[in-house]
């Protein structure tokens, strides 16, 4: 919209364009102030407003444009000091503030340290900055009139008294409360630090890869802690948005069954190309996918999950989704639940990760047009996407419930929803539904009962589950397996209205585990 004769002020509604990458309103006749709502355009990379009659100051909200690369406000009537946050925008490569009425000291950091990347000529009240900007040095402030002696004494006494009280409060707090663990916070990492921690993104450190990037194992230089570093493939369309969406989701959530982010990095590499990555806590036991579908090599063949381990993992995943759907300040839909996005720590506790497609639920419900657009471009993963999304229905928590149901069936059958056997009108949902309850033993994953499983209880589980003539405890345990599969069938119903809420799923899975553990306890007592 540049080089026209547009008049009036820039509407505040421009802040609703969350996916806007470039806005060029240069060389028009716009006046008024830059709307603070522009700071909501999180995807904005290029903003050109030069050659207008805009006044006022640079709004503080523009500090939220973390991905901004070009900012041109030249040839306007803007005034005030140049805000400090402009020197902290890491992706900013071009800044033109020339021919305005800015005043005050110019920073020597960030983009202001590169005279070829910034232009501030035509602002006679500016001073300081690096020598290459050829600005006058900033004069010292004139000495103030000496204060009255009585005033100085009174103020000094008040300050000393306030400091004494503050010290007492600090000492009391330090002796009566524990400081939060230092691992909960970590300063931002530079590109050089990322390269060093991954040994130059070596193939040996590559953990996995997806459509939007690759994950590397890394080691923090300060404390030697192992981390997982997700490097975004910015050549892939949608990767930058995925990075922003994941940051937006992760910064507002915290739960024991969600993958914890340590820090993020958005900068340029040594060749001057954009670079973005996320640093997560390292999960020693890898993804659930590798446990459910081990490769042919010897190392992976040792991975076996017993029934109770699978049940515990299912509870962890359900608890994470229940938190996202019902206990976040703004409910979140994950939109891409699958085994490879569930990671296991050293204690085999499950953590749900990869929020690159996550959607804030209130945002969807309050803006039907945006909700529809999200559904249309939703990629997700084949086999786990709820059928209603293919009909352009809105993203909803019930979509996550469907994905969880498919995942639950996969966990207990050992078959992917994309298995070759599932074609024509046969799906994993129908495959299990037809087998329940009498033929449940025919469809469960045989490795769950394998004698070589890492769980010492597996042989007992196998004896109980497979012995259809056993009395009491045997039938109780078989009921547990069938009950778990029925939850998967219910959650993966093609009709959203027939699916369970995640809060109900969590309660039912806990009941199944309690029943299973009680049957084991009574069995041991019998042989004592």
Q: What is the mean pLDDT of residues 122-141?
A: 84
Return the DSSP state at 138: P
248 pLDDT tier (thresholds 50, 70, 90) = confident
| pLDDT (0 to 100) of residue 135 | 87
Helix (H) or strand (E) holding 365: helix 361-366
The mean per-residue pLDDT over the stretch 259-284 comes to 89
Is 230 annotated for ligand binding? Answer: yes
pLDDT band at 367 (very low <50, low <70, confident <90, very high): very low
Range in 41-45, 97-101, 343-347, 450-454 the model is least confident about: 450-454
Task: Give the least confident one: 235-249, 431-445, 481-495.
Answer: 235-249
Mean of per-residue pLDDT scores for the chain: 81
Mean pLDDT of 262-278: 88
What average pLDDT does the segment 353-369 reach? 61
Question: CB of 322 within 8 A of CB of 254?
Answer: no
Query: What pLDDT, on the 0 to 100 scale, is given for residue 503?
Result: 93
The residue ranking higher by pLDDT, 216 or 264, is 216
Q: What pLDDT is attached to residue 178?
A: 37
What average pLDDT does range 56-79 have in this prediction?
A: 91
Position 168 confidence tier, pLDDT thresholds 50, 70, 90: low
Give the per-residue pLDDT at 101: 92
Residues 6+ apart with CB under 8 A from 380: 335, 336, 357, 389, 403
CA distance 102 to 117: 18
Q: What's the confidence (pLDDT) of residue 372?
A: 36
- Average pLDDT over every residue of 43-59: 91
Selection from 442, 450, 380 nearest residue 417 by Cα: 380
Cβ-contact 264, 245 below 8 angstroms: no
Give the β-pairing of 274-281 and 226-232: antiparallel
| pLDDT score at 528 | 53
Q: For this structure, is 347 an active site residue? A: no
pLDDT at 401 over 90: yes
State yes or no: pLDDT of 58 exceeds 90. yes
> Do residues 59 and 33 lie in contact, with contact meaning Cβ atoms separated by under 8 Å?
yes
pLDDT computed for residue 302 by the predictor: 64
Residues 6+ apart with CB under 8 A from 487: 405, 408, 500, 505, 508, 509, 512
**Domains in the chain: ranges and CATH:** 7-133 (3.80.10.10), 186-282 (3.30.200.20), 286-366+376-452+468-527 (1.10.510.10)
DSSP β-ladder status, 350-352 and 342-344:
antiparallel
Confidence of residue 243 (pLDDT cuts 50, 70, 90): confident
Higher confidence at residue 424 or residue 200? 200
Mean pLDDT value across residues 424-433: 91
Per-residue pLDDT at 79: 93
pLDDT at 463: 54
In 3-state terms, what secondary structure has residue 366? helix
Structure confidence at residue 176 as a pLDDT band (50, 70, 90): very low
Contacts of 254 (CB under 8 A, 6+ apart): 260
**Residue 223: predicted pLDDT:** 79
Closest CA to 28 of 2, 9, 8: 2
Beta strands in 196-320 (DSSP E): 206-210, 213-219, 226-232, 261-268, 274-281
- pLDDT (tens digit per residue) in 471-512: 454 466 677 888 999 999 999 999 999 999 999 999 999 999
The top-scoring range by mean pLDDT among 221-230, 244-253, 454-463 is: 221-230
- The residue that leads in pLDDT, 474 or 301, is 301
pLDDT at 238: 83
SS (H, E, C) 85-133: HHHHCCCCCEEECCCCEEEEEECCCHHHHCHHHEECCCCCEEEECCHHH
For residues 211-235, average pLDDT: 88
Percent of the chain residues topping a pLDDT of 90: 35
Query: Which of these ranges, 44-48, 61-65, 366-370, has the smallest mean pLDDT?
Result: 366-370
Instruction: For the full predicted model, state whether its pTM sits above 0.85.
Output: no
Are 465 and 316 in contact by the 8 Å Cβ rule? The answer is no
pLDDT at 236 over 90: no
- The tally of CA atoms less than 13 A away on the side-chain side of residue 77 is 10
**Is the confidence at residue 451, as pLDDT, over 50?**
no
Which phi and psi (to 5°) does residue 509 adopt? -65, -35
**Which one of the listed residues 91, 336, 354, 400 is annotated catalytic?**
336
What pLDDT, on a 0 to 100 scale, did the predictor assign at position 34? 94
pLDDT of residue 408 exceeding 50, the answer is yes
DSSP letter for 327, please. Answer: T
- More confidently predicted of 473 and 69: 69
């Amino acid at each position: 919209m540049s080089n026209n004769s547009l008049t009036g002020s820039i509407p505040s509604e421009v802040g609703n364009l969350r996916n806007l990458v470039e806005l060029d309103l240069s060389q028009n006749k716009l006046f008024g102030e830059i709307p603070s709502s522009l700071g909501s355009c999180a995807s904005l990379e290029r903003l050109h407003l030069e050659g207008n009659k805009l006044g006022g100051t640079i709004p503080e909200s523009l500090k939220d444009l973390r991905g901004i690369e070009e900012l041109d406000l030249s040839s306007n009537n803007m005034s005030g000091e140049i805000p400090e946050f402009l020197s902290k925008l890491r992706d900013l490569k071009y800044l033109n503030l020339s021919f305005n009425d800015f005043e005050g000291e110019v920073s020597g950091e960030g983009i202001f340290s590169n005279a070829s990347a910034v232009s501030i000529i035509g602002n006679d009240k500016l001073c300081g900055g690096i020598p290459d900007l050829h600005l006058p040095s900033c004069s010292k402030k004139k000495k103030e009139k000496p204060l009255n002696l009585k005033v100085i004494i009174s103020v000094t006494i008040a300050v000393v008294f306030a400091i004494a009280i503050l010290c007492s409060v600090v000492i009391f707090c330090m002796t009566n409360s524990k400081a939060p663990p230092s691992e909960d916070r970590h300063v931002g990492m530079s590109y050089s630090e990322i390269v060093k921690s991954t040994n130059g993104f070596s193939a040996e450190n590559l953990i996995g890869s997806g459509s939007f990037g690759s994950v590397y194992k890394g080691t923090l230089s300060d404390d030697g802690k192992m981390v997982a570093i997700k490097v975004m493939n910015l050549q892939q369309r949608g990767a930058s948005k995925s990075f922003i969406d994941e940051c937006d989701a992760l910064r507002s959530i915290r739960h024991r069954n969600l993958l914890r982010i340590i820090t993020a990095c958005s900068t340029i590499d040594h060749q001057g190309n954009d670079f973005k990555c996320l640093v997560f806590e390292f999960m020693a036991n890898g993804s659930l996918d590798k446990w459910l579908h081990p490769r042919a090599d010897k190392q992976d063949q040792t991975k076996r999950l017993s029934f109770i381990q699978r049940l515990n993992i299912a509870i962890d995943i359900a608890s994470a989704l229940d938190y996202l759907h019902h206990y976040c300040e703004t409910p979140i839909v994950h939109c891409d639940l699958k085994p490879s996005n569930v990671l296991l720590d050293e204690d085999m506790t499950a953590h749900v990760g990869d929020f690159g497609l996550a959607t804030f639920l209130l945002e969807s419900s309050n803006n039907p047009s945006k909700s529809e657009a999200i559904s249309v471009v939703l990629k997700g993963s084949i086999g786990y996407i709820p059928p209603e999304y293919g009909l352009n229905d809105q993203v909803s928590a019930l979509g996550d419930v469907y994905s969880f149901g498919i995942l639950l069936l996969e966990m207990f059958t050992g078959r992917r929803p994309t298995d070759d056997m599932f074609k024509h009108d046969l799906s994993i949902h129908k495959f299990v539904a037809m087998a329940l309850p009498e033929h449940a033993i025919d469809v469960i994953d045989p490795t769950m009962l394998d004698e070589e499983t890492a769980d010492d209880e597996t042989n007992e589980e196998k004896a109980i589950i497979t012995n259809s003539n056993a009395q009491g405890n045997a039938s109780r345990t078989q009921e547990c397996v069938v009950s778990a599969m029925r939850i998967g069938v219910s959650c993966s119903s093609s009709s959203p209205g027939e699916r369970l809420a995640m809060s109900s799923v969590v309660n039912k899975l806990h009941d199944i585990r309690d029943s299973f553990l009680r049957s084991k306890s009574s069995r041991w007592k019998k042989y004592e």
